[in-house]
Structures are given as C-alpha cells and as structure tokens.
Structure 1
Amino acid sequence: MTQDEIALKLDEAARKCKPIAQLAATENITLEEAYNIQRLSINKRIERGEKTTGFKLGFTSRAKMEQMGVHDLIWGILTDKMHIAPEEEVSLNQWIHPRAEPEIAFRLNQDITEAIGLSEIHNYIDKMAPAIEIIDSRYENFKFSLEDVVADNCSSTGYVIGNWIDVDTNISELNISLHIDGKTVETGKTSAILDNPLQSVVELTRLAQKAEVPLKKGDIVLAGAATAAIYLKENQHIEVQVEKMGNVAFRVK
C-alpha cells in the first residue's frame, strides 16, 4: 500500500470504529514514513472541516521508553473534534477500545519556531490545567509497534481540559490521581512525566523544529500520562485530580 492508502485505512478505521490489523511489519514502514502517514491522516480530518488545536506527547515515562526500545518521545496532533467539555456525557460507541489517562495540559502564549530550554519555557506558556486524554488505538487488541502507533496519530482520540490557571514552574512533584465513579483507581506524581511536565513542552519544541512543524499561539500541549491508562466502560464518571490545580471530569454512556 502507498502511504496515502495506509492513512486512508487508519482514518476509516477511526470513523467507522472498526479495528484493523497492524500494518508496519507487512508494509515495512519506517518511523519517518509513519509520521508522514500521520500527517496525511490528519489532512483528511482537516479536509472534513476539523481544525488542529495542539499536540499530545507519548513515551514521557522513561520506563515506557525502555519497554518499547526507543530513546525519544513520540507525538500526535489534536483537533477540535477530539475536544470534550468538562462534565460532558459522551457515547462509547464512537470509539473502539478507549482508555483514559490523567495529564497536565499547557497553552502556548506565542508562536514557537525554535527549540526552547527548560529555564525559558515558562515564558512561552500562559496557562496550565488538569486534563484527561482518551486514547483509542485503531489496531486490533490494542496491539501495535512503534511505527504503527505513530502512523495512527499516537492513538489520539479525545481530551478534556479543566480550568486554566497561571503557570507555576514548581510542578514536578504534584500528586495526581484518576477516579472512576468516585473510586480512586490510579495515583502517581507529576514527576512521572519526564521528571517535570514542563520538560514535555521543551521536548516538543525540539521535535517540532526538527520536523519543521510550527507551534502556534493558543496551541494546547498534553504533556503525557502520569499513570497507567484505564479502560472505559459504559455509564462511568471519570475524574482526574491534580494537587494545586484542581480537577476535571467527564461521563460516558
């Protein structure tokens, strides 16, 4: 298959909620080609009227990097159709095998066209918030290789953003937890995100510069998961709480 044919196959799998077999092994996709397929797939969304709203980062856990045998982060693109309002009730029928994970979101206050260091990155962010990301691989059994997941836009599916607050640079050791129907199911520290969630934005500036992808004022950046993701079931209330930041939640039916 051509890269455009693979992008179309992944796009249709997402739209029709029908999983497909892994592709990278049989199609001999390189990581660079996988990112190109990702962009082709996002372009199909844009052609349907969706607008890009930012980026999500993956493999922000050192342990996850080692598990996958990689030495760098991966990233996907967010669109407005993925946005879920706080406390909104959404149907599970729009997804294949969705999972939720707690995150920290940041908002850029200016365009970024170069790699920025940790000591300066707070000058490029005006707000932060507790967030939930919903991931949903388009592959059968939620199984995939590195190239597969990148081509599939890093499983990007949905996101919920809590109340925006001013950026505090001291956020590397905050408690973060995920709750289902009022019961705590996962707990962790923000240090699980590259030792400091702000480092994720730093890494994104580097990766975006390398890929010649502009980061724009107003873009949202999901810094990466702080705990394991939890599989979603019908009629659940999903909530994330972050120390000093507050909480955010949504419902599924």
Structure 2
Amino acid sequence: MEYTQLRSGILIRRYKRFLADVRLASGEEVVAHCPNTGSMRAVNVPGSRVWLSPSRNPARKLAWTWEWIELPMPGAPPALASIHTGRANDWVEEALGAGRIAELAGYTTLKREAKVEGARLDFRLASAGQTTHVEVKQVTLREEDGHGYFPDAVSERGRRHLESLATRVALGERAVLLFCVAHTGIDAVAPAAHLDPAYADTLRRVAAQGVEVLAYGVSVTRDMEGMPGQAILTRRLRVDLERQPPSACVNVTRE
C-alpha cells in the first residue's frame, strides 16, 4: 500500500472513540476520524507526531483520517504504528497475492469476509480441494518488555473468532489466526493474558486443537522528513503462546 498526500501533525487528544484533535505542522488544529474502536493502549500518546490522510469524499463530515503515530523506542530509532485497523486486511490480501506469506502460498482462490456457521471470518482460501480459513488481528500493543500483545482490552468477539476457527478444524478444514503486526518496533507476539486471560486461555486451547497461529509484521518506508510511504507485510515474526506478560501491566476496560 502506497501512502500519498499525508499531512503531519501533533496529537492533542483522542476522544469519543472516533475523534482525534491534531495540530497540523501549519499550526491549524483539525478534528480527524480515528478508525480504531479499541482501547489503543500504548498508541494513544498525546504529544506524539502523527500523520493524517485526506478524505476523497467531499460529503464526509471529517476531512482527515488518522493513519500513523510515531513512538519512541529506547536505544533505537522511533517506531511507526498504524492506527487504522481497516488497513490490516488490505496488507494481508496484498501479501497473499504476492506470495510473501509462505505458510499460505499456492492457493488459487481468495474470498474476503467469508461466512461460516455463526461467524464471518476474514479470508477463505481454496485450492485443489483444500479450504483454509484465516482470521486477521491487528497488533499494535507493545509492552515494556518489548513484546507485542493481543488483545489490548477484553475482546469477547476475538474469543468467538477463535472458537469459529477451532470448529473449522474439527470439520476437517485448515484454520489460521494471523496476527498482522502494525508496529515496526514489535518483533514477537504473545497473547495478552494480563488484559484478557480468557482470550489467552482460549488461544492456547484452540492452538492445541490444530488452529495455526502466525504473525507477520508490516515494513514501512520513510522519506527524509520521516513521512510514511509504502507499507507492506514482509516480516515473519515469532509467536510465543506461553509468554507471561510484565507484572507491572494492569487491566484496561472492555472493548
């Protein structure tokens, strides 16, 4: 995905879930759409540099959409994290088409938003009689130990998706949970047992039942001024289902 016409600014605040006040580099303060309904733990950082994309719809109430935030990394260059949860499936679809997800290569058909009994999963891949269902979850939570964690708040919906994947396995199909890591400072992913122990327990159980768990991270080019350019899913990351999160972390509210 190529980002063009982005505008940089400083995040003032995010509020009412869908709104963010941003001070543009010009000094103008604007209200941007925040396309992320989650807690945004660790990526809602007022005072941070952010980038907005312009809307192509003249009838839309808000002219800007919050896309990226820059976050400090101890002993390393700043990281970029995507705010727009809707980008994850686009990155995954592009990577599938390009064959960059080795574990999911070789399929001849792809369907997005595939219906299964009691749920809708992000992708259905098929080839030579084999059907694979893929559910994508975007990861942006980086805790103090440097690991990425999912979810960033209690997610009953996410747990139901795990159960749907396990059902597909029981029916003889292949099922994959794919963590799309949209934070360039994350190199490994674990279930967030400190935020949603039920999700972590369910993930470990369905993995033992045959649901495959993968993690791939986005790579982002930047120009001389730090502006994000092309973003593609390229980095194969480690998944550690048994990792214990930092004891200093505390629970957050239900999504």
Q: What range is the shorter-chain TM-score in? A: under 0.3
Please identify the structure whose Cα radius of gyration is greater: 2
Q: TM-score, normalised by structure 2?
A: 0.28
Considering fraction of residues, name the structure with more helix: 1
| Higher-RCO chain (CA-CA 8 Å, sequence separation at least 6) | 1
